[in-house]
Amino acid sequence: MKPHLQMKTTQTMAMTPQLLQSIRLLQLSSLELEQELREALERNVLLEPVEEDEEEPATHEASADDAGAADAEEIASVSGADAGATAEVEADFDWSSRESWSGGEPPDEDGESWEARIGQPAATDARVAAIEQLQLVVRNEREARLVAAIVEAVDDNGYLGQPLDGIALESGLDPLPAPAEVEAALRLVQSVEPTGFAARDLRECLDLQLRAQPAGTAGLALAARIVDESLDAIAARDFDGLCARYEVDHVDLHAALDLVLSLNPKPGAACAAAAEAALPDLIVSGTPGAWKVELNGERLPRLRVNAMYERALSNQAHRALRDQLQEARWMVRGIEMRHDTLLRTGRAIFERQTAFLERGEEGMAPLTLREIAEAIGMHESTICRVTTNKWVQTPWGVYELKAFFPSQIAMREGDTSGTAVKAMIRRIVNGENPQAPLADGDIMALLARNGIHVARRTVAKYREAMQIPSAKERTPVVGPRRAWMAR
């Protein structure tokens, strides 16, 4: 063997900065896109926003048979792009190729979150709040490192899911903390707000909250005994058994149970961010046979290149200004391509989900990303990006675009979707006799009569996913327990 030189020609695909930017714009939500464009306007003097009541400047002479003017008008109606900007960037890349959208870069996570930058109140994490409180009570660096390791092991619901000996090992302290030292650090962490934070299980969480109650609270002693000894009996709704075990009447038992129900089983979740209203990117309107899918004009960012600055620039202009001009053109065109891809995807989806528009979730048909990708000539990853964090206003409410890709379930007269089966189960439960709730097997039988054959465990899975209680839990309670059970 000996070294030698060899020449060969290969063809590979390169991810240009412009393509990466377009992919990033495609996967941004509407709020993230607004922040992205706000930053672009601040750093690029050649970009300017288009106000809602502002007329678009004509880019050239318009005439009745001028197809170029029609194209420019269509582009400007979405993003404010002009024909010159389109010509500069259109020839550089084939946007219709599905391979063009097959890759991408992860979202930029450096710096401050976009929620904070647009003035939204930041979510307070229970772990961060606990650390802030513990900074005032820790006595030395060793104790601070140990309590920090404990707080880090707490999950989002406020529970400590890791054994104490494992936390001692991960703390990195030398010498290794003794079990008593770790227990003392845990009690210190459990003393912070919210009460019940860093509990190892539900029983300890409720016990910590009961200990914090005032001494004269009604039913406190009985509630503490029930939590410590008979928590499973509450879940089994064995109220008669609890009365017999603790030799109390229903009135005293209900006072204790009311106190237990007032406690927070997930103390860490109390600091989670409040849910925000979904802002639709698409709007579906019309009547059966004449549905219309369009972009939400109120959520469309409108941007354009400053025509005066663009005309003033020459080939001898400073390189930094030429770079800003190219960046501005690509930003405008990237927004246009984002809106075009989103609109085409939405129209392809609802061409196949017309039964949903007419009947609601029970008409939801099974659908895959591959079907939509083939319909619009793009890659599946593009459809995945464009349907993530994008919402649509339909006659039946606001849905995420991802919701229109349900799983497939076979039936006698064709296939249906998991979403449709869930809607049928919900309708069956809503229409059942309240005095005799239907078990999962009964619901399975009713579905089978309609040609939908699913297993009983599938019915139970869908019912639990919709947070519908079991037949036993839906059974009405009579006697003095009714008021408590109504809760």
Positive or negative: CA dihedral 241, 247, 252, 256? negative
Q: What are residue 295's DSSP bridge partners?
A: 282
Is there a cis peptide before residue 175, judged by omega within 30 degrees of 0? Answer: yes
194 prior amide bond cis, ω within 30 = yes
- Grouping H, G, I as helix, E, B as strand and the rest as coil, residue 303 is strand
Q: List beta partners, residue 84.
A: none
Query: Is this prediction's pTM over 0.75?
Result: no
- The SS3 assignment for 171 reads coil
Q: Where are the alpha helices (DSSP H) in 212-277?
A: 220-229, 231-235, 239-246, 250-261
Residue with tokens 């063009």: 100
- Return the structure tokens found at 225: 């005994």
3-state secondary structure of 33: helix
Q: 30-43 vs 319-352: helix axis angle to the nearest 10?
A: 170
Predicted local distance difference test score (pLDDT) of residue 478: 47
Q: How far apart are CA 14 and CA 17, in angstroms?
A: 10
Q: Which residues contact 406 (CB under 8 A, 6 or more apart)?
A: 364, 366, 367, 417, 418, 419, 420
- Give the start-end residues of each E strand in 336-407: 391-394, 397-400
Residue-level pLDDT at 347: 92
Q: Distance between CA atoms of 434 and 429, rounded to whole angstroms? A: 9
In this structure, are residues 387 and 402 in contact, taking their beta carbons and an 8 Å threshold?
yes
pLDDT of residue 432: 84
Q: Check residue 18 and give its pLDDT.
A: 62
Residues (pLDDT < 50) of the chain are 56-123, 274, 478-487
263: nearest Cα among 195, 186, 190: 195
Amino acid at 297: G
Which pair of structure tokens corresponds to residue 127?
């772990």
Q: What is the pLDDT of residue 21?
A: 67
The two tokens of residue 15 are 């991810």
416 membership: H or E segment, kind and range: strand 414-417
412: amino acid identity, one letter = R
- At residue 3, the 3 state secondary structure works out as coil
Backbone φ and ψ of 452, nearest 5°? -105, 110
Give the pairing type, strands 408-411 and 303-305.
unpaired
